[in-house]
A and B are shown apart, each in its own frame.
Chain A
């Protein structure tokens, strides 16, 4: 039988063939090119088009960057250097303007010898943010975060330290009263904690401030808002707006979800009104209209006014983002909180908001990015933003007349880096906070 079988099967391989490498078109760079760039005639055409676009940009703009001049006192000098070095036809970037004026782009017209104050404020910002961003740090540091806005205000605008201390004291007074009186009556404590500090600020702050300033005159040189500018201004308005708009946005979102008709109506009207008008009109309200609605003779700082309106603006958007987060939360979470017997605020604080805020992180961060970009619009109410007013001011000098692209590129790159970093951080945060197993 076995003989017969051996004769019917003409050939049986009894050894394994050595493994061979795949054909050239199926491996390595060629395969990658075929799959990713030339998988069909349409893709091939797109690839060629893309290469052509890249080539066009490099061929046109790379020489401009390569011819860049870093050391010159004026645009004419830049052009002279480029013409001498690369020939009369060559064009090149004049980065010397950035080298000479970058202080102005960053700090505006802040006095040069006082740059340490905004720099210190900026460094302290990270110290203040650290306990919020890194939960491993001791919780005591959060008190520094709470105190930071007042410290920053004093460092940036200067003046006597005592009004700032008085404001902080008022808050502390409120906190202490809340703690003590709530032993007898929660509502009474709340009312007292609001009324007493307000009375303190209204009647006692002035005289005490005068006395203390007389006894111990601790003061920094006052800097007016008209000397702020550049990225200093953008960051002050941006960070101030972010810090103030988040709590307001949460309150508005809860108000919009509320069962109480009046609260809900007020929230909806406010949110829809703010979202329905351009920010620029609100800035005009800040610069011209606000004075009409305040007691005659009131005239407070323009940056503060702008910051208030920017806060209201972004609070409305944040409220909508958080409302999305609240709506995305399964009903069971609300019902479970009710079943545990938690009252409204406790349920919100312990169960609803932590989850809803987690869901809304991407939206909140993109609102913040949008607001930071929108801080450039303050140029239209006469503040020195880094994008339009400062470059315009630089161009007004005879030496830098007609310089367009270099300031645009410099400012654009800074905005890009800051915003891109923010969006990446939000993606990281989203991943870190993810609790379900996808």
Chain B
């Protein structure tokens, strides 16, 4: 019996490397490998030649030197005596801070707009369409610049708040003042505060730690309560009324703690030239935050809309047929299925927002690009190190966000057999 694969053994010929599918992929990979190595070797050779010609070296020692420049808005203590590394850290925290604020605002606006766009109210649905199309089709840089122009050109100067009949009024019981030099907001202070622990990285407020612990404890206790109620319901068929207990557990301890610490609000007060007291939020941060969140919200609105539309109407009809009320239908049937569609693109929008926050340069907000990739780079003349380090940090942020996304995707993946 002679089968096709019983063909007589022949020695290995060189042409098999190209024409035999068993070996061809090896050949291609080997050639690619050689080409890539040659390319990298060429690039690194050029780099070394250029550095030699300029008399420069490649080292990150400059990070330990004194920065010597001031940063207007910092989340951790920083002065111009700090090192370049610290300045980069301040910039990184500023990037993360505006991204966090932007993600929260964009999600809230985006979800509301996405749902309203599906509303059966003709006027509102049209208005939301106008919003989404207007913001999606115009560069985000324009919205950031417009927000900056609004914050600096249309807001009154601090002196407009002066006098018996001032031209401008503070909002919300004198707690917010928009001026062309920044937004002044009432700050929370404690008369019987617990103090702070100073660590080399950043001071940790014990008040904040205590508050966070109490809130986490309350949430944990509330979950226990709900679990208990569910057990009672399963045993007896009657669910005990717990909403007021829930409310008490969630709010009571936190309010008690705040009162015990002696919470007060420090209001911004107009002094000779400007407001003092309270928190001063720079217009750069506000306009960057507004521009980024309004722009990203338009995309999130479309994602939310697509997610809700992706759940077939048969699902909610089936839920109604089972006798579920509308809000439970939403919570138990529609949302879990819609979220599976919504969350992955939502997280990639968060990623986009974080990357777009590098447009801070347009408004002068000192983010990672402004410190490490801006002043530090220009002062020390270390373009390669600064830009590579900056890219690496952005890459780490992106990879950790997409890592979270992959975890989520794995947890909600349909179980296929």
Q: Residues on A close to B: CB < 8 A? A: 35-37, 39, 43, 46-47, 50-51, 53-54, 187, 259-263, 266, 272-273, 275-281, 284-285, 288-289, 291-296, 369, 373-374, 376-377, 379-380, 387-388, 404-405, 408, 411-412, 415-416, 419-420, 423
Chain B 5-49 interface 0/1 with A at a Cβ cutoff of 8 Å (1 = within): 000000000000010000001001100110010000001001101
Whole-angstrom distance between the Cβ of B379 and the nearest chain A Cβ: 14
* A408→B142 contact, CB < 8 A: yes
Asked if B119 CB lies within 8 Å of chain A CBs, one says yes
* A415→B28 contact, CB < 8 A: no
Known: A281-B358, A292-B51, A296-B50. A262 touches B139 (CB 8 A): no
Known: A292-B46, A292-B47. A277 touches B120 (CB 8 A): no
Known: A415-B138, A423-B137. A281 touches B153 (CB 8 A): no
Residues in B neighbouring A374, C-beta threshold 8 A: 139
Q: CA separation between A277 and B43, bound complex, in Å? A: 21
Known: A278-B356, A293-B46. A376 touches B141 (CB 8 A): yes
What are 23 A-B contacts defined by CB distance under 8 Å? A36-B123, A37-B121, A46-B116, A50-B124, A51-B123, A259-B25, A262-B32, A273-B395, A276-B399, A277-B391, A277-B394, A278-B356, A285-B387, A289-B383, A291-B50, A293-B43, A295-B46, A296-B53, A376-B141, A388-B141, A416-B137, A419-B138, A420-B137
Query: Lowest 6 A-B CB distances belong to which pairs?
Result: A276-B398, A36-B122, A419-B137, A278-B355, A373-B139, A276-B395
Q: Residues on B close to A: CB < 8 A? A: 18, 25, 28-29, 32-33, 36, 43, 46-47, 49-51, 53, 116, 119-124, 127, 133-134, 136-142, 145-146, 149, 153, 355-356, 358-359, 361-362, 369, 373, 383-384, 387, 390-391, 394-395, 398-399
* A380→B361 contact, CB < 8 A: yes
Q: CA separation between A420 and B137, bound complex, in Å? A: 6
* B133→A278 contact, CB < 8 A: no
* A373→B138 contact, CB < 8 A: yes
Q: CA separation between A43 and B124, bound complex, in Å? A: 9
Please, which residue of chain A has its CB at the minimum distance from the CB of B395? A276
* B32→A278 contact, CB < 8 A: no
Please, which residue of chain B has its CB at the minimum distance from the CB of A370? B352
* B142→A412 contact, CB < 8 A: yes
Q: CA separation between A54 and B127, bound complex, in Å? A: 9
Residues in B neighbouring A261, C-beta threshold 8 A: 29
* A36→B50 contact, CB < 8 A: no
Please, which residue of chain B has its CB at the minimum distance from the CB of A414? B138
Known: A187-B18, A293-B47, A408-B149. A376 touches B355 (CB 8 A): no
Whole-angstrom distance between the Cβ of A120 and the nearest chain B Cβ: 27
* A277→B398 contact, CB < 8 A: yes
Residues in B neighbouring A46, C-beta threshold 8 A: 116, 119, 121, 123-124
Known interface pairs A296-B53, A405-B149, A415-B139; 13 further A-B residue pairs with C-beta atoms within 8 A, sorted by A's residue number: A259-B25, A261-B29, A262-B29, A263-B28, A266-B36, A292-B46, A292-B47, A293-B50, A296-B50, A373-B138, A374-B139, A408-B142, A416-B138
Known: A47-B121, A266-B36. A275 touches B398 (CB 8 A): yes
